[in-house]
Amino acid sequence: MTVVPVRVTLLTQRACTYCEHAKVVLARVGQDFDISIDEVSLQSDEGRSLASRHGVMFAPGVLLDGRAFSYGRLSERKLRKELSRFRVAHDPR
18-44 per-position pLDDT tens digit: 999 999 999 999 999 999 999 999 999
* pLDDT, tens only, 58-85: 999 999 999 999 999 999 999 999 999 8
Residues in the chain: 93
Q: What is the DSSP string of 73-88?
A: SPPHHHHHHHHHHHHH
Strand 6-12 relative to strand 35-41, pairing: parallel
Query: Phi and psi for 71 in degrees, rounded to 5?
Result: -145, 160
